[in-house]
Structure 1
Amino acid sequence: MSKQTYRICCFQRKFKLKEAEAPDEIKELFGRFSENGIMTSEHLCKFLKDVQGEENVTKEEAETVMESALKLVHEHLNIVFHKKGLNLDGFFRYLFSDLNVSISTHKKVHHDMTAPLSHYFIYTSHNTYLTGNQLNSDCSDVPIIKALQQGVRVIELDMWPNSSKDNVDILHGGTLTPPVELIQCLKSIKEHAFVASEYPVIITLEDHLTPDLQAKAAEMVTQVFGDILFTCGTECLSEFPSPESLKGRIIISTKPPKEYLESKKTSEKENGSQKGKKSSEEKAWGAEISDLSQKMMAFSEKTLQNKDNGECQDDEADSHHENPNIQQNIAPEYKHLIAIQAGKSKGPTSEWLTVDPIKVKRVSLNEEKLINVALNHGQDLVRFTQRNLLRVYPKGMRVDSSNYNPLIGWMHGTQMVAFNIQGHGRPLWLMQGMFRANGGCGYVKKPELLLKTDANNEVHDPKRLLSVKTTLKVKVYMGKGWHLDFKRTHFDAYSPPDFYVKIGIAGVPADSRVKKTKAIEDNWIPTWNDEFEFPLTVPELALLRVEVHEYDMSEIDDFGGQTCIPVSELRTGIRAVPIYNEKGEKYPSVKLLMCFEFVKIMLHV
């Protein structure tokens, strides 16, 4: 037999797909919660209480679940089922279905939405109008629409005079990005703002306009948004309103205008120096989180030797020099639209971090300067963000629209961790995972840890190592669906894939770690039955991250899917875990069957 003939035979034999079979533990569970091979609604109710942790489920609710499960089974005629309940195959299919997903509340908002905006993490985008990289991709309203459809609540627009100096364009200044007109972006924002969420959309403006164009921009904003625009006159807010009170509203946030100065040369110098640089985003899995403390210290050693005075300047939002003698040129109608005023972050950090009891503001820092402030003023950051808004954005060298570790901002109370939503990589998966919480509405209530003060008026210290609160036990049973969503030759030309799962925690440094299952050879429907434990000191900020890869002995392992789930949203018990592609889009068929259990730590007195 020739080598080619052998390969063809091997190919045909290896790709014969076996039917998914329930693991032994699932078979045992079915035996416990069934009678004569049938699980009735009463059996299902007991299973939901005893195994799935749904202690308050009623018999009526269990009957509704059973009806939905029977309909699901009925759609697959090759499965035998009984009109009074589920057989083993039907129960197994139910466990793998969207009726039994891992994230809680079935996409309903369940956080308290009546606190000030400063009490929430907010889904925030950076340079939202860019279709790709930061240097020469198109500017368009299309990525703005996509961001809003994904639940993003903070849109950034950079306003510049057009080539004729008679209209307003949106573009990344000092680059080769072709512009899009402001009016087109505003209309698209209005049309799509509340498709994914009814909670407010904040537009952060980077303003490079002359006073007459500021007035023109104000006219466009007013005409497009009309009554849904939230304004508060010329006065600063003494406290931010709540997301609940701002449902269906558009909010403008920028610095109050002072003067117009061309800053193109500065922008060109900054961006031009970065053209040859490339950010290596795909480092060792989990390293960007688990080595958080070391990275912060490494940054400190490299860049902070000459910054012991604590000075920190926001070079994105503070690109204009200020001249108090040109105040009379301000367009008053433009200033009137600014509901959330952006403050300065120039000078000593201790000054701009001071909490004003009379008014609130928003301050912006780039990711490197956040680390600087976090290292030296961690508790002050937490205190500042209890009342004020902090926005963090990517450093200038991320010309490829990559992103950074969002946990550094979140663990210090940063509400607006601005990301290149059009980007790629693991940090973006964390961002997408965080905002799957609270029904995907784009607002996630910060944990009480970051909001409270003690009797001595002290706030949480992010550097302090806390005791373990709970341990998350995770068991990975099996996975299926790749044969439906991938070509048969996607992973290997002549044999089925060898899948393994990486699973870990992204959170505070003490909680962040990664583990891995064994690889299952030559199987489109792998069964692992591997169990892991993750002790958690701050479970409120922890994200469970899961990646599936296909082992390749000679090359880089192929990507087989990923997901990221807030630990606070996990439903206990045996659950179906939907898997997403590299862009964060859910695969139609690929799922993992996993089990989640929390073991509380008993404190000995």
Structure 2
Amino acid sequence: MDPEGSRIRDDPHVNVMMAGSTLRKVKSRSWKKQRHFRLLEDGLTIWYKSRWAGKGHSTFSVTELEAVREGHQSEVLQSIAEEFSADLCFTLVFHGRQGNLDLVAESPEEARAWIQGVRKLIHKAQTMDEKERLDQWVCDWFQKADKNKDGKMNFKEVRKLLKMMNVEMNEEHALHLFTMADKSESGSLEIEQFVHFYKILTQRDEVWKVFQDYSGDGEKLLLEELENFLMIEQQEGGRSAQHSQELIDRYEPSETAKKQGVMSLDGFQMYLCSQEGSILKPEHRGIYQDMNQPLNHYSISSSHNTYLLEDQLRGQSSLEAYIQALKRGCRCVEVDSWDGSDGEPVVYHGHTLTSKILFRDIISTLKEYAFKASDFPVILSLENHCGIEQQTVMAQHLRHILGDTLLTTLLDGQMPQQLPSPQELRGKILLKAKKIGGLVDCLDETLTDEVSDEEEMANDDAGSPTAEDPPADCLNENNKKSKSKLSRELSDLVVYCKSVHFHGFEHARSHSKCYEMSSFSESKAKRLAKEAGTDFVQYNTRQLSRIYPSGLRTDSSNYNPQDMWNVGCQIVALNFQTAGLEMDLNDGLFRQNSCCGYVLKPDFMRDSSTRFSPERPEERQGYIPLRLSIQVISGQQLPKVNQKEGSIVDPLVRVEIYGVPQDQAKEETSHINNNGFNPLWNETLNFVIHTPELALVRFVVEDYDKASRNDFIGQFTLPFTCIQAGYRHIHLLSKDGTAIPPSSLFINISISELK
């Protein structure tokens, strides 16, 4: 069934994994326990158990793994480096927010076999096409359900398996299909037959109907018929016959059909389920935007309190949090530095119980991971609470560890009139911090540009200051913050991102330089956006601004970043460690442009004389509202929310629009009882979009519950401008933003000007 699979089973490294090994699972310096690990026969599941734990065991799939790190490349393994040499150690890194697995082998040879073997299996899992992926998924379920491991399943076992797969079906119908698949009439299905049974079970009438509309004989699509479908339904006019032929070559499973230049129903379904048939325009997946504009003309993926893996009061500070954020394309990370007891600056959330990490370790991590996901510049936002001596130590670490990667001089030696572009700054790290020199309106300046929680509350209690008020730091005479001077060595490392206090839009218009930037708390930014939207948009055409969550969000929750993007704020910092709507929107905006962390703002937000206001979108030049019509047709293999036996989801689909205030909207379908396998809605949801260039569209699937809150099943968010019209599949993501194949929605989208 899988020649590639048999090839990989002949691999010596994979054979070692299948034979099994005793590896130490390490959680800390004191928690190191032996576990027996092996790769199961499916070539995809890793199983492990304690020698002593009786029947208890754990499993995970290779598809959940992102990478293998060799040696002491995690904080846990570094802590036991003296006990176990690097050639015995490795780390399995999972997608999303799942914690790593740190392992120690008994010999360097065994470690090498696991490192190389897992890498090969990850590569195989990543390069499977849609058909192989689906076959693999079905086989996985078969293996899970085949309790006695005899490679066969009777009807009763198949019924149970269908329940596990979120299918509730008529027993008579299921038995009929089972009998059709049981070619040998043995009363049980072997794996090949089960795959066949699954295929008949998942034949999709809704896809067949679309196919019938364009197929002359109802059996196949001729080249010309496929072209018609692409032009009329998919609105892909101007594509050549060659493109249709390419689709046949790529997705048609039948060699005979390929030779005849026709597409069968199977091929048609494969194409619709592929990336080319997905809702996100293929041409927007890579870098498609102009990367030569000034830095402030882009939205920049940005993280707040990057060192935290959990909440802000007692969470763990971790280098892993930086690695995870950078791997997600984050281009602005934050470091809160404080004086360490032994002369080495430490990073943690001040005045809380969060654990501490060394500043120098963070900089080493930054050096290694900054440019793995994207080679566009990274901004290091420094919240500096250190005295002069340890500031100088920080400056030395930055210079020594980062070397040429750290930008320390003007690119052309000239005083800039505008910021350099992401293209010009490729591979560079920029320090954002206070700098000696320039305008100082507050003589008694503190070195942090975030207002403390107490000040923010006092400010809000005292009534909202106007946009032109001096900052709270200057007003608050009782400010108990440590006031310290700035180290010249550290100051000299700040070039294009000099932190300054914000003294109002009028002041900025006449005095500010392009390399000066201010930070705003979410409440202040929201107020300014509402009261002076156009001023804020204009301000952001000249300078960078950074927004950070309120200090009252001790649970590391997030604000909605859309309000800030609506006025052109670039560095909208979110707690990357907290899953939910806000991170879905962030992932959605930055999903385009190769996930490089930079997205070019619309032209009307880059023009310094712009009159755009998110409150009054109809007043801008070139205003053309659009009608978005989404027919939600069906769902496929939705994951179970409740793993309890016999529980099946009652799914509904909600489409949410985020954008300027007038565009915020939600519409949902009715729910379907007891069917997470192939629910059919055939309901149409309609929206009017006033500012398409700023809108994000979020598709959410939930398990309806009349007694309590609906449970989340999956979601997918993308910019409105990246949507492909026509019949499309939406490949759903988990709460963590990771793929949950083969779960999808099948929809038909049409976009037209509002007449």
User: Which of 323, 335, 339 pairs up with 1:161?
Assistant: 339
Distance 1:223 1:527, change over 3 A: same
Map 1:232-247 → 2, pairs under 5 A: 232=409, 237-247=416-426
1:498 to 642, 650, 653: 650
- Among 67, 77, 87, the alignment partner of 2:249 is 67
Matched, 1:508 2:660: yes
Aligned letter for 2:300?
I
Q: 1:235/1:156 Cα in 2 relative to 1: closer, same or farther (>3 Å)?
A: farther
What do the CA deviations read for 1:448-474 (whole angstroms, capped 9, x no partner)? 121225xxx452122224165211111
In structure 2, the partner of 1:597 is 750
Q: Which has the larger radius of gyration?
A: 2
Q: Does residue 517 of the first structure (1) align with residue 669 of the second (2)?
A: yes
Q: 1:352 to 1:181 in 2, by over 3 A?
A: farther
Matched residue SS, 2:220: coil
Query: What residue number does 2:312 align with?
Result: 134
Structure 1 residues 160-199: aligned runs within 5 Å? 160-164=338-342, 166-199=343-376
| Residue 227 of structure 1, CA deviation | 1.5
Of 255, 280, 293, the match for 2:434: 255
After superposition, residues 380-395 of structure 1 pair within 5 angstroms as 380-395=535-550
Instruction: Answer yes or no: is the 8 Å Cα contact 1:450–1:459 preserved in 2.
Output: no
Shift of residue 303 of structure 1?
Answer: 5.9
1:3 aligned residue: none
Equivalent in the alignment of 1:107: 285
Distance in 1, Cα, partners of 2:480 & 2:432: 17
8 Å contact from structure 1 (residues 270, 396) kept in 2: no
Task: Tell me the secondary structure at the aligned position of residue 661 of structure 2.
Answer: coil
With structure 2 as the length reference, what TM-score do the two structures score?
A: 0.67
Q: Any idea what the Cα deviations from partners look like across 1:321-373, whole Å, max 9, x if unmatched?
A: 798xx86xx43332221123334335x52455335475431110000011222
Q: Distance in 1 between matches of 2:407 and 2:223?
A: 50
Rate the CA distance shift 1:247–1:65 in 2: closer, same or farther, 3 A: farther
Report if the CA contact (8 A) 1:214-1:334 is conserved: yes
Counterpart for residue 384 of structure 2: 207
Contact residue 294 and residue 420 of structure 2 kept, 8 A: yes
More displaced stretch, 356-365 vs 431-440: 356-365
Whole-angstrom distance in 1 between the partners of 2:472 and 2:233: 52
Q: Secondary structure at the match of 1:68?
A: helix
- Give the Cα separation in 2 of the matches to 1:439 and 1:533: 30
1:286 corresponds to = none
**1:566 equivalenced with 2:719 (yes/no):** yes
Query: Is 2:499 the partner of 1:360?
Result: no
- Compared CA separation, residues 94 and 556, structure 1 to 2 (3 A): same
Q: Cα–Cα, structure 1 residues 357 and 365, in superposed 2: closer, same or farther, change >3 Å?
A: closer
8 Å contact 1:203–1:251 — kept in the other structure? yes
- Tell me, in whole angstroms, the C-alpha distance in 1 between the residues paired with 2:726 and 2:467: 52
For residues 601 and 235 of structure 1, the distance between their equivalents in structure 2, rounded to whole angstroms, comes to 49
Deviations 1:86-114 (A, max 9, x none): 32233123212233211122620111111
Give 1:331's aligned residue.
487
Counterparts of 2:462 and 2:693, CA distance in 1: 31
Deviations 1:390-434 (A, max 9, x none): 110100111111101111111111001100000122122111111
Per the alignment, residue 91 of structure 1 pairs with 268
Structure 2 Cα separation of the partners of residues 438 and 82 of structure 1: 33
Distance in 2 (CA, whole Å) between partners of 1:210 and 1:256 is 15
Q: Letter of the aligned partner of 1:223 in structure 2?
A: H
Per the alignment, residue 459 of structure 1 pairs with: 611
Specify which structure has the bigger relative contact order, considering alpha-carbon pairs within 8 angstroms and separated by 6 or more residues.
1
More displaced, 17-26 or 464-473? 17-26
My pick for the range that moved more, 25-34 or 546-555, is 25-34
Matched, 1:424 2:579: yes
Q: CA RMSD in A?
A: 3.4
Q: How does 1:139-154 map to 2 (within 5 A)?
A: 139-154=317-332
Given the alignment, which residue of 433, 441, 450 partners 2:596? Answer: 441
1:27 aligns with 2:206: no
2:496 is equivalent to residue 340 of structure 1: yes
Secondary structure at the aligned position of 1:531 is classed as: strand
The alpha-carbon distance between structure 1 residues 449 and 497, as it changes in their structure 2 partners (threshold 3 A), is same
* Contact map agreement 2:211 2:218 (CA 8 A) in 1: no
Name the structure 2 match of 1:307. Answer: 465
- Give per-residue Cα distances to partners, 1:524-552, cap 9 Å, x unaligned: 21111111221111000111111101112
CA distance in 2, matches of 1:476, 1:462: 29
Report the Cα distance in structure 2 between the residues aligned to 1:58 and 1:422, rounded to whole angstroms.
Answer: 45
Q: Which residue of 2 aligns with 1:119?
A: 297
Specify every segment of 5 or more residues in structure 1 that has no aligned partner in the other structure, as ranges.
Answer: 1-6, 75-79, 275-299
What is the distance in 1 between the residues matched to 2:650 and 2:611?
48
Gaps of 5+ in 2: 1-158, 175-197, 438-443
C-alpha deviation, 1:576, in angstroms:
1.3
Distance 1:411 1:418 in 2: 15
Q: SS of 1:100's equivalent?
A: coil
The secondary structure found in structure 2 opposite 1:505 is strand
Residue pair 1:120, 1:444 contacting (<8 A) in 2 also = yes
| Cα distance change of structure 1 residues 147 and 236 upon mapping to structure 2, 3 Å threshold | farther
Provide, for residues 493-525 of structure 1, a one-character-per-residue CA deviation record: whole Å limited to 9, x for no partner: 435321110112111111111011111122221
Q: Which amino acid aligns with 2:602?
A: P
User: After the TM superposition, which of the residue ranges 203-212 and 25-34 deviates more from structure 2?
Assistant: 25-34
2:533–2:567 CA contact under 8 A, matched in 1:
yes
Contact map agreement 2:546 2:571 (CA 8 A) in 1: yes
Are positions 1:43 and 2:225 aligned together? yes
- What TM-score do the two structures reach when normalised by structure 1? 0.82
Secondary structure of 1:247's match? coil
C-alpha contact (below 8 Å) 1:256/1:335 kept by paired residues: yes
Tell me the amino acid that sits aligned with residue 712 of structure 2: F
Q: C-alpha distance in 2, partners of 1:30/1:246?
A: 53
Work out the CA distance in 1 between the residues paired with 2:754 and 2:425: 40
| CA contact 2:627–2:687 (8 Å) conserved in 1 | yes
* Partner AA of 1:48 in structure 2: L
Q: Is 1:224–2:406 an aligned residue pair?
A: no
- Supply the distance in 2 between the matched residues of 1:332 and 1:440 (Cα, whole angstroms): 36
Contact kept in structure 1, 2:455 and 2:472, CA below 8 Å: no
